[in-house]
Amino acid sequence: MRSLWPHLSYEQWHLTCDTMHAHTQVLGKLATELAPAEPQLQHAALRLTARGWETAALPAPDGSGSLTVRLDLRSHEAVVEHSTGTTRRIALTPNRSVGAVTRDVVAAVCALGGPVTINPTPQEVSWTVPLDEDDEHATYDPEQVADYFAAATQAAQVLAEYRAPFRGRSTPVNAWWGSFDLAVSLFSGEPAAPPSTDFIMRNAMDAQEVAVGWWPGDENYGKASFYAYAYPAPDGFDALSLAPAAAHWDSTLGEYILDWDDIRSSDDPHALALEFARSAFQCSCRIGKWDSTLAESTQGHPPPVH
């Protein structure tokens, strides 16, 4: 029986991880192109569903209805579906390149909903070959994908429970295709100066927030982990004492980290991860001098209506 909290090591599954990461970028590029723009680039975010990574309903370019595009991590295929019910399926197989899948997905969108083009340049990754020309990334191990999906599903449920009672503005549990992570941002309602004039930074980082998320490891940090950061980071932010005891500050990443292996080895992994998320938010609010009413709401005060 597959573990609900499986072991993940980027070193062991990085070939499949990078291939799947590249596939998610195609979905994100389509969302960026077709969805109405939202603050903090929310229109470009994907969702983790019970089947995999999925766009919201996107306006069909020809005005015929809406489209969704998903990476189905259960049937191992990319699926383009029109609101009329017409569907195209593209197999994700062990030796099928990102370039081939990208071309087929974009062609399916065009066939079902009208012409669309995407910027094929990959973002926030170490490789630069355009997605529709990428023949390097072609490893897709279904067993490794299944372990990732099981872990990501557990992480998403933690983030959803953490976010649920908050009474300020927040994001859903976003699946970010640039950084290949899941994340929730809670906002204080105050503006913030973006850290740079880069397009992503000036649009995504223009409000005071606390972000808590999870990723399956990458080239910079090879362990699956929950993370947390505040923006703008108040003075002394790197010296907070977060719960649980295994949580620690990583000066290279500029974030608080709780490693997946510390979570999955505990008696109650969900509770431990939720403790980290709530602790990170409460400590960030305290040092950042957020409205105490907002800070308390994540603890269920006042309680949500049942």
Report whether 254 contacts 229 (CB < 8 A): yes
Residue 117 carries which side chain, given as an amino acid letter? T
In the numeric block, the tokens 């004492």 are attached to: 241
Q: Give the DSSP H or E segment for 124.
A: none
Helix intervals (H) in the chain: 10-34, 98-113, 142-163, 199-204, 260-264, 269-288, 292-297
Nearest in space to 172 (alpha carbons), one of 40, 26, 31: 40
Quick count: other Cβ atoms within 10 Å of Cβ 257?
Answer: 20
pLDDT digit string, tens, across residues 11-48? 999 999 999 999 999 999 999 999 999 999 999 999 99
Confidence at residue 3, expressed as pLDDT on a 0 to 100 scale: 84
> pTM of the prediction?
0.96
pLDDT at position 86 is 98
Write down the pLDDT at residue 304: 82
Asked if 265 contacts 6 with a C-beta cutoff of 8 angstroms, the reply is no
Q: Return the half-sphere exposure (C-beta side, CA atoms, 13 A cut-off) of residue 172.
A: 14
Gap between the Cα atoms of 264 and 171, Å rounded = 26
* CA 263/CA 265 separation, integer angstroms: 6
The pLDDT-based confidence of 1 (bands split at 50, 70, 90) is low
